[in-house]
Amino acid sequence: MIDDAVQPMDTALMGIRALINDYVALMKPGIMTLLLVTTLGAMLVAARGIPSFGLVLVTLLGGVLTAGGANVLNCYIDRDIDAIMSRTRHRATANGRVSPAAALTFGVALTVSGTLLLGFVVNWLAAGLALAGNLYYVFVYTLWLKRRTPHNIVIGGAAGAVPPLVGWAAVTGALSAPAWILFAIIFYWTPPHFWALALLKQGEYGRVGIPMLPVVAGEDETRRQVFLYTILLFAVTLLLVPFGMSWIYFAGAVALGAWFLMLSWRLLQNPSKALARKTFFYSIWYLAGLFAVMVSDRLMLG
């Protein structure tokens, strides 16, 4: 009798847990992790030390909510093509486990709550920047650019470059030149990062009519653009040196950038899926490593 009562309870709990996991997955926690790294890194650089724990916690939570809201709304809008692509067909919005109305409500609720949390607890500049990044990602990138132009990643990359501005504004209440350089670093990092992935997934993009660069211009041009944008990225990272970064950051930026350049050059010379995959995954570690180096520079030599 007891076992018969326990089993339905276990089944119900498993169903609730699965539903929660579906909603969390729509927020794209893997992408948000990198956004939080750049937000925290900007806060530590702007403060030239350690900001208060409360400020860091609320800023990161506000970032999770607003960025997560944008990602959920992206899944809501792209549920038709997500259902076709193997990389995304398991999303709850693509296979119907979460209804469109529920996803839309969840995305809007996250966006509003994150903006209000940042505004009332941190400051309204940080809140406005977070909301602007959210709306840019949803309306400019997802609704306008993604299905219309191969330059979607270049222009749309501005949305992913907003988190350092949010972190900087949270600490200082203003934006200065180094904050905009951090923005530019992520802006120029985005094309080689996503185009390396697009080289691996171009068949899927082609089937759903997304004009990613490899689909429209071919692999050779895509590899050339990856290399050119990596050069631009390398140059932009060095712009922080005149604004107070020491030899620690300079050495780290040069070493990390040189390896990125080497990988992108090898990819340009050798049309290899293995090299595209290696370049894509290195780009993730590159950005995390670059922010770790600049934070170490500030904390050690301030």
Higher pLDDT, 88 or 182: 182
Look at residue 139 in the predicted model and tell me its pLDDT.
Answer: 95
Query: Which two three-digit tokens encode residue 272?
Result: 């290899």
- Mean pLDDT over residues 122-149, rounded? 95
pLDDT reported for residue 134: 97
> What's the number of CA atoms in the CB half-sphere (13 Å) around residue 271?
8
Over residues 254-281, mean pLDDT: 96
**Other Cβ atoms within 10 Å of 102 Cβ, number:** 18
- pLDDT at position 57 is 97
The H-assigned helical ranges of the chain are: 2-26, 29-47, 53-77, 79-82, 92-95, 100-117, 124-135, 152-160, 163-172, 177-207, 213-217, 219-237, 247-269, 273-301
* C-alpha–C-alpha distance, residues 200 and 164, integer Å: 29
Contact 158, 99 (CB under 8 A): no
- Return the structure tokens found at 109: 């609720």
CB 294 within 8 A of CB 48: no
pLDDT tens, residue by residue, 11-26: 667 778 888 999 999 9
> Exposure pattern of 35-55 as b/e (b: 16+ CB <10 Å)?
bbbbbbbbbbbbbeeebeeee
* DSSP for residue 270: S
Is residue 1 pLDDT above 80, yes or no?
no
For residue 210, count other CB atoms closer than 10 A to its CB: 21
Amino acid at 86: S
Q: Of residues 89 and 239, which shows the higher confidence score?
A: 239
Query: Domains in the chain, ordered, with CATH?
Result: 13-171 (1.10.357.140), 176-302 (1.20.120)
**Structure pTM?**
0.92
Residue recorded with tokens 């120029």: 188
